[in-house]
Amino acid sequence: MDDLSAVGTPVRTMLPILDVRNVTKRFAFGNESIAALSDATLRIEKGEFACLIGPSGCGKSTLLRMVGGFETPSEGALLMWGKPVAGPGPDRGMVFQDYGLFPWLTVAQNVGFGPAARGRPKAEVAATAKRFVDTVGLTRFADAYPHQLSGGMKQRVAIARVLANDAEVVLMDEPFGALDAFTRERLQAELLEIWARTKLTVIFVTHAIEEAIILADRVVVMSPGPGRIVADERIALARPRDPTSPEFNALRRHLSALLGGHHQWRQPRRW
């Protein structure tokens, strides 16, 4: 496995922030094993917004969890800035569907939780929390508790918490899957606004073609049985994107065709 971490910062700018090289992941399943992901290769540049899309069981969450360091590849290499991902770290923040906020902590305390847990001095924790609460536009709500916030505000807190950890990559696993269309649209717009301002790298899992086209610089199309990457499409439309425009519709048809043969759930291949 290549380890380019020792080569110094000037080279870092030439590396992709994430480099997934021929990654296969097998899970034990009784006496057999399931290939959740097979030979996946993907390079993501700093600041990119990438969506992973595909039907249930195609390995989207597995790929995301491996980038997060929660799973390790069975084969291949997964590098961040040229260095193998060896486990979870504050440089990669996961935003959960329910945002995972601590209900007994205020907004500022939730945002400062990571630095506090790492033993940073109190004054520094407070300054970091304030900075990122301000970044996501929640200054007036710094002392509010999660139950006093709207869904959009909770999402902002979750992202501020990731930023306060110095995360460069945000991993989101279908964060809007359970929401009504109106709320979903609002949260998509809020997420894009924060992303544009912070230049975070986002990897976002979704089942929805329209959501992927609204959000992404790149849509990585996956298919099951075994899970694999079948296409990697660049979305060059200017933002904000209009789902009623002919260009948007052409992309919708294109992605739909790429996914077309894979809409039905298929039994994963066993090895």
Ligand X SMILES: Nc1ncnc2c1ncn2[C@@H]1O[C@H](COP(=O)(O)OP(=O)(O)OP(=O)(O)O)[C@@H](O)[C@H]1O
Assess contact for 10 and 242: CB atoms under 8 A: no
Position 57 contacts ligand X (CB under 6 A): yes
Contacts with ligand X, 59-98, as mask; x by CB under 6 A: xxxx------------------------------------
For 172, the 3-state DSSP assignment is strand
Measure the CA angle with vertex 137, ends 132 and 138; round to 5°.
Answer: 80
The residues, ordered by sequence, that sit 6+ positions from 189 with a Cβ below 8 Å of its Cβ are 240
Whose Cβ is closer to ligand X: residue 177's or residue 240's? Answer: 177
Assess contact for 115 and 165: CB atoms under 8 A: yes
- The amino acid at 99: Y
Whose Cβ is closer to ligand X: residue 32's or residue 143's? Answer: 32
| Cα distance between the two ends of the chain | 24
Residue 60 Cβ, how far from ligand X at the closest point, in Å? 4
Whose Cβ is closer to ligand X: residue 50's or residue 58's? Answer: 58
Residue 42 Cβ, how far from ligand X at the closest point, in Å? 15
The residues, ordered by sequence, that sit 6+ positions from 165 with a Cβ below 8 Å of its Cβ are 90, 91, 93, 114, 115
Residue 29 Cβ, how far from ligand X at the closest point, in Å? 6
Residue 111 Cβ, how far from ligand X at the closest point, in Å? 28
How many angstroms separate the most distant Cα atoms in the chain? 56
The one among 17, 44, 58, 133 contacting ligand X by CB under 6 A: 58
Contacts with ligand X, 208-247, as mask; x by CB under 6 A: -------------------x--------------------
Tell me which residues touch ligand X (CB under 6 A): 27, 29, 34, 36, 54, 56-62, 227, 268
